[in-house]
Amino acid sequence: MESKENFYPDFDLPASQLSAFSLCIDVFIISLKNGEIVRFKPNDLAHFKEWLCRFNVRDIAVNDGISHVYKRC
């Protein structure tokens, strides 16, 4: 059973199922650990982003998950 703080208000999934996110204008695009993609438009963008960061959900704007060795310009 997931703890209550593992859930964000009005968002049905626990943080433990989230892999990464990106913010596009005012909608979060979230990759789940099972490979699915979901979208969420919170009332408070900053608060939701803080919640994601508290649970170490990867922000692809900061870390795209690709090792710099494999990146090409």
Residue 11 or 65, more confident: 11
Q: Domain range holding 49?
A: 4-9+16-59
Whole-model pTM: value is 0.81
Q: Residue 31 corresponds to which tokens in the numbers above? A: 């990759």
User: Each residue of 34-71: pLDDT tens digit?
Assistant: 999 999 999 999 999 999 999 999 999 886 666 655 55
Residue 64 maps to a domain: no
- CA distances (Å), 11 to each of 18, 45, 62, 67, in order? 12, 13, 23, 31
Q: Is residue 46 part of a domain?
A: yes
65 domain-assigned: no
Structural domains in the chain (count): 1
DSSP element (H, E) containing 49:
helix 45-54
Answer whether residue 52 is part of any domain.
Answer: yes
